[in-house]
Structure 1
Amino acid sequence: MPAFALAHLRNPQVNEDILTYLERIQATLEPYGGRFVVHGPEVDVREGEWPGSVVILEFPDRQQAHAWYDSPAYQEILPLRTRHIDASAIIFDGVGPGYDPGRTAAALRAQTATG
């Protein structure tokens, strides 16, 4: 099942450190099968507030996502970003092929009926 890393970036400050981070991050992803799915587009906020931009990376599975984030190569460049951009970052599992939210609702109904 694929896994994703999501970063909510706030108050980005483009400078030499950020440019170096951007130039080097791809090489840190490749050994773990990681790839950019979304990288800083303008967002269309429909509910709530969303100051900043979003980055989403995809990995083959959660183990590879964690291995990338914890890797010496990524940890070496991470301060280049964290010194200049406020962010929240999470890693989470995606859903597999054929996922049906109706089945999830049915399971939740069954749990609440017995709970």
Structure 2
Amino acid sequence: MAAYGIGYLWNVNLGPGIVEYLERIDATLAPFGGRFIAHGGQIEHFEGSLPEGNAIILEFPDYQHARDWYHSDAYAAIKALRSDNAEGHIFIVDGVSPDHKAIEVLAANG
């Protein structure tokens, strides 16, 4: 089942560090089957509070591939280019099956 790497970044310094990060990140994703499905598109914020920023969603074949990518040597080599030039939240979340129903979370937590 697919898993998603999700990032929300703000105060991004669009200098040489971020440019290099963007030039190199695709190569780190490929060995783990990762791909961008959202990257800085329009956001309409409805609830809670977030600083103005950018949302990024990566899709992976499964949770283990997502974890392996984040902890890979290839990603470790560029991670500071992002973290030194932006504030943000980064996390991984498991996907659900195409026929998932909301009520199913009760059985999973019960």
Partner in structure 1 of residue 35 of structure 2 = 35
Instruction: Identify the residue that residue 96 of structure 1 maps to in structure 2.
Output: 97
Identity of aligned residues (%): 43
Counterpart code for 2:25: I
Q: Would the alpha carbon gap of residues 80 and 104 (structure 1) be closer, same or farther in structure 2, given more than 3 Å must change?
A: closer
Bigger shift: residues 40-49 or 87-96: 40-49
Q: Deviations over 1:27-81 (max 9, x none)?
A: 0000000000110123111112222111010000010001101111110001011
Matched, 1:46 2:31: no
Aligned length: 108
Q: TM-score, normalised by structure 1?
A: 0.87
Find the aligned partners of 1:47 and 1:74 in 2 and give their Cα distance. Answer: 32
Question: Any unmatched runs of 5+ in structure 1?
Answer: none
Per the alignment, in what secondary structure is the counterpart of residue 41 of structure 1?
coil
Q: Using the alignment, how far apart are the partners of 2:29 and 2:3 within structure 1?
A: 13
Paired residue type of 1:16 = P
Instruction: Flag the structure with higher helix content.
Output: 1
Amino acid at match of 1:50: L
Distance in 2 between residues matched to 1:93 and 1:84, nearest whole Å: 27
For residues 44 and 101 of structure 1, the distance between their equivalents in structure 2, rounded to whole angstroms, comes to 23
Match of 1:24?
24
For structure 2, the 5+ residue unaligned runs are none
Q: CA RMSD in A?
A: 1.4
Which residue in 1 is equivalent to 2:66?
65
Larger Rg: 1
Q: TM-score, normalised to structure 2's length?
A: 0.91
- Identify the range of structure 1 (42-51 vs 92-101) with the bigger mean alpha-carbon deviation: 42-51
